[in-house]
Amino acid sequence: MDNYLSELTTEEVNKDTQNIDECNTEEMLILINEQDSIIHEAVKKQIPNISLGVDIIYNSLKSGGRMFYIGAGTSGRLGVLDASECPPTFGTDPQLVQAYIAGGDSALRTSSEGCEDDSEAGVKLVQDCKITSKDVVVGITASGGAAFVLAAIKESNEIGAATIGLVNNNNSKLSKICDVCIAPIVGAEVIIGSTRMKSGTSQKLVLNMLTTCTMVKLGKVYGNLMVDLKATNKKLYERARHIVCLATGVDDITALQYLELSNRNAKLAIMMIKTGLNVNGAKSILEKHDGKLKDSIKAATA
């Protein structure tokens, strides 16, 4: 075994689950659930580093930069999942938060684990995406040693982009080459080396935090309402209606009327209802305040 790999926490034998193959179904589930309970504390310990990561991402996006997730295997798939949810949830341009996995899109469905060893592909990806010094790149790899991710981060550093690492081991190779390293240490996996389990779950929690907190800071949320959602199907249209009602106190019919006036833009509909402005007036003030609804309402009603 590779010396680096053999020294990783995620590759250790979990003493609490050594006899899982002798357990009945319920006993196995209890063991897995007990191990999962470790994850939240591990993520909590990383909040200072997650906070640094959020501020780096926010400053980048606010200044016209983009965010890139680059990962391999489970880590890469989780990055793609998080990035793909940003446009419908927060109304972002699909180019704002992008995600790439070693082996390309086909690796999302079919395992292409050998691709994580391709350093040249990592460098080429950064070049093909035309990453610049305004952008931020988040490398995700449980081991912290996937060559594809390491190469992409090194290339991003050369360009001057901000770099963040998300790993599940201390003293990883990735931690030594990124600006901020987020490392929730969840311990040995239930099944040795199966980082789709505790490691993957901790990564999903961190990715949720990175994008959600960044979008809140960018004004994509009013209170805790996701007012920038894109109402692209029946469910989301109903959700937009509900959000307008919650934010303004109007009835369903009024909410739907304003949603139609605003071209299904919940934030704009709320702004119009709260201020009495027409579409153009409400839109103009929102633009002046970077889309931040509370600031825009205060300015319009001062």
- Per the model's pLDDT, the better-predicted residue between 232 and 68 turns out to be 68
CATH 3.40.50.10490 location in the chain: 3-217
14-52 per-position pLDDT tens digit: 999 999 999 999 999 999 999 999 999 999 999 999 999
Its sign, for the CA torsion 183, 184, 189, 195, is negative
CATH 1.10.8.1080 location in the chain: 234-301
Among the listed residues 272, 194, 227, 149, the one whose alpha carbon sits nearest the alpha carbon of residue 36 = 194
256-282 per-position pLDDT tens digit: 999 999 999 999 999 999 999 999 999
Q: Cα 177 to the chain's mean position, in Å?
A: 21
Q: Quick count: other Cβ atoms within 10 Å of Cβ 234? A: 8
| Three-class secondary structure of residue 182 per DSSP | strand
- Per the model's pLDDT, the better-predicted residue between 197 and 231 turns out to be 197
pTM of the entire structure? 0.92
- By annotation, the residues acting in catalysis are 85, 116
Fold of 234-301: Helicase, Ruva Protein; domain 3 (1.10.8)
pLDDT at 5: 77
Tell me: pLDDT of 106 over 90: no
Tell me: pLDDT of 111 over 90: no
Cα–Cα distance list, 210 to 6, 47, 54, 60, 247 (Å) = 30, 10, 5, 13, 25
238-256 per-position pLDDT tens digit: 999 999 999 999 999 999 9
125-136 per-position pLDDT tens digit: 999 999 999 999
Burial 122-146, CB ≥16 within 10 A → b, else e:
bbebbeebebeebbbbbbbbbbbbb
pLDDT at 109: 85
Give me 54's structure tokens. 């959020």
Per-residue pLDDT, averaged over 295-302, amounts to 93
Please state which CATH number belongs to domain 3-217: 3.40.50.10490
Per-residue pLDDT, averaged over 196-218, amounts to 97
